[in-house]
């Protein structure tokens, strides 16, 4: 649909330094939506980033979705501001498949402050997941990107808050992501400063993923990583359980 499209090279090069607001997003959605679409508001355009507090767009966008419901509507965010729109989200969930993917990156608050200084503390984000769940919304804890953490503790907190399968992704490096954008160089600079460069090593990342998957499976859930995990959110039909591993 292009509501959030049109990224330019400078958008990647200056990522996080500015926000481009699509003032006519709701109007364009109202014209373009149809019942066979899957709309995925990805983390590249977090719909509940801080700018949404000053220049609200999502209430009108949700109203547009209500006027012409798509097959599925997926919101991915790390902003507890989403709780403001619970009444509208419940209306959307009553007329289409609504999934909320909420990013939880670490269980260590000092790590969050280093890598995500402008994001809310993890305690607030976990509480938001629990509140969305208690409201009856389909919400997933998304462990992405996986920052330095205690994998077992992070998995346990995410499972407790969401009560659902986990989805996630390690920090993007060329060793595991041959195409597309990778984690910004600033994150590697921070990792070098604090002795956390292992979190960029594919072998180490695989071990962390395995540890989280073990915690999830013991609790009767799954941990799906990468496109296979995030792709489940964009299904037109209810999400089926993953097959058990042999």
Share of the chain above pLDDT 70, in %: 85
Query: pTM of the entire structure?
Result: 0.89
Band of residue 97 on the pLDDT scale cut at 50, 70, 90: very high
Distance CA 7, CA 221 (A): 36
By C-alpha distance, which of 80, 86, 125 is closest to 106?
125
What pLDDT is stored for residue 42 in this prediction? 73
Distance CA 113, CA 30 (A): 38
Question: Which CATH fold topology does 9-233 show?
Answer: pyruvate-formate lyase- activating enzyme (3.80.30)
Half-sphere exposure of 76 (CA within 13 A, CB side): 20
41 or 124: which leads in pLDDT: 124
For the chain, where are the alpha helices, taking DSSP H only? 9-13, 25-32, 51-54, 58-67, 86-93, 109-115, 122-134, 151-162, 185-193, 202-218, 226-233
- Give yes or no for residue 104 having a pLDDT over 60: yes
Task: Report the 10 Å Cβ neighbour count for 119.
Answer: 19
| Domain range summary for the chain, segments of one domain joined by + | 9-233
**What six digits make up the tokens of 1?**
């649909």
């Amino acid at each position: 649909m292009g509501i959030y499209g049109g990224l330019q090279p400078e958008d990647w090069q200056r990522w996080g330094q500015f926000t481009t607001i699509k003032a006519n997003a709701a109007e364009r959605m109202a014209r373009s939506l149809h019942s066979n679409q899957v709309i995925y508001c990805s983390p590249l355009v977090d719909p509940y980033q801080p700018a949404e507090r000053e220049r609200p767009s999502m209430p009108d966008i949700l109203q547009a979705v209500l006027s012409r419901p798509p097959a599925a509507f997926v919101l991915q965010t790390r902003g507890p501001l989403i709780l403001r729109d619970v009444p509208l989200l419940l209306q959307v969930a009553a007329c289409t498949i609504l999934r909320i993917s909420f990013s939880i990156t670490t269980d260590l608050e000092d790590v969050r402050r280093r890598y995500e200084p402008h994001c809310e503390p993890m305690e607030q984000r976990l509480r938001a997941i629990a509140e969305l769940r208690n409201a009856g919304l389909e919400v997933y804890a998304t462990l992405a990107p996986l920052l330095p953490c205690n994998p077992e503790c992070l998995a346990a907190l995410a499972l407790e808050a969401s009560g659902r399968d986990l989805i996630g992704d390690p920090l993007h490096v060329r060793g595991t992501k041959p195409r597309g954008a990778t984690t910004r160089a600033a994150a590697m600079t921070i990792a070098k400063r604090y002795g956390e460069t292992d979190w960029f090593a594919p072998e180490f990342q695989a071990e962390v993923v395995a540890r989280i998957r073990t915690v999830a499976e013991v609790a009767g859930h799954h941990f799906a990583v990468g496109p296979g995990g995030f792709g489940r959110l964009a299904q037109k039909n209810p999400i089926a359980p993953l097959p058990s591993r042999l």
